[in-house]
Structure 1
């Protein structure tokens, strides 16, 4: 799934805005999910490019810097306050301390310098943490191999602490040839089932209620219940008139 591509991307790939999906042999934009198949030639503007270069040109032309996109993500993913996000945005634009103070209309240059120092310390801490997690993941501890939850999920708590083995066990119990046999009553199992069913929808695509019903009815008779839980748990959003539905991205 697209959200898994994002979280599996390296720091460099997140910064450049695209990654390589080995299964499809394509470079994929992390913002709009456009795909560029390896071996094909793509026309961008008046020039032609091979797949990877086309992905790079597309990202730059259509989305610009990835910094605003990363900073717009929910706090549960960035760990940043609104003030910190604003400061990082200005730093990304190359503004000096005095210019940042003028842009914000408050504070002092010494305050901005203090934030710069704290960001450098936070960066060092992040490197140590990533190195530690790399060593932990290298152990391949299946008992504690937690799966990623949907970016738009609401009320993230212990219900989302699901290991790969737990996920496999629940899916095997509730699905038969990709058809849902029954909808679980326990919260954690509901989340596992809903996340799995999200694979039937395309990120970035707008669906009518009729289209959503058709997709869900293909896997479970009580499609209305599934649709309701998709909204309630933050997997999907809909327009006020309930005519348009889409996967919630963040």
Structure 2
């Protein structure tokens, strides 16, 4: 999941509505709820929109805490800030928060003030960006937002730099040069240049399912089908933040 790809309402809700399919999808596990279906949960019946909200509460313990603690380069809150937001969401008074954190009440109130000001800045920036996009769309008729011609940056990226300034055209050209076949996926050589390497990894990670847990053997098997040096591919998928693993290396997943 790339948090930066979703609009504000989707991020607040924790689910994505697909107007074409007329369905709701949980952002945490991808479970689909078709709009024309009725869902039975704990002896009660819900429409799809209500069912996905119930699902988030019953199966995931609520969206907010999962969202708050989700690893993302866009979530720059410190652990202390996350703890404070969590307590505020639970309705804790300032005095109780200060006591738990071992700080003064004025410190808690100052951080709340900082939160509020940052939220205002974010809303102004978002409004300006959206206005610029609408004007660009009207002027060119392309329907593109500023920067839309660039490939998106994956959410687990550890260091975003010029390597990620890649257009869709460049991406497709790099794939054509590196892969013998895209279906099935067969890599001819692993590029030396960082930008081309990144493009290859972007394509390879599509072979793995988000939300699924893989053993190291399963990862090796899948990568070996793509390229003989599967160890190198696995290492770079981790280094570039496309995948993560447990400390003992036993379990892998898409970030």
Residue 195 of structure 1 aligns to a residue whose secondary structure is: helix
Between the aligned partners of 1:132 and 1:198, the Cα distance in structure 2 is 34
Identify the residue that residue 200 of structure 2 maps to in structure 1: 193
1:150–1:235 CA contact under 8 A, matched in 2:
yes
TM-score after normalising by structure 2: 0.82
Structure 1 residue 142: deviation in Å? 7.4
Aligned alpha-carbon RMSD (Å): 2.6
Residue 78 of structure 1 aligns to a residue whose secondary structure is: coil
Identify the residue that residue 230 of structure 1 maps to in structure 2: 237
Alignment of 1:111 onto 2:115: no
Residue 147 of structure 1 aligns to a residue whose secondary structure is: coil
Residue 224 of structure 1 aligns to a residue whose secondary structure is: helix
Identify the residue that residue 216 of structure 1 maps to in structure 2: 223
Q: Cα–Cα, structure 1 residues 70 and 111, in superposed 2: closer, same or farther, change >3 Å?
A: same
Aligned positions, number: 244
Identify the residue that residue 161 of structure 1 maps to in structure 2: 165
Q: Structure 1 unaligned segments of length 5 or more: list them.
A: none
Residue 79 of structure 1 aligns to a residue whose secondary structure is: coil
Which stretch of the first structure deviates more once superposed, 164-173 or 203-212? 164-173
Equivalent residues in 2 for 1:36-75 (5 A)?
Answer: 36-74=33-71
Identify the residue that residue 207 of structure 1 maps to in structure 2: 214
Q: Cα–Cα, structure 1 residues 181 and 204, in superposed 2: closer, same or farther, change >3 Å?
A: same
Structure 1 residue 96: deviation in Å? 2.1
TM-score after normalising by structure 1: 0.83
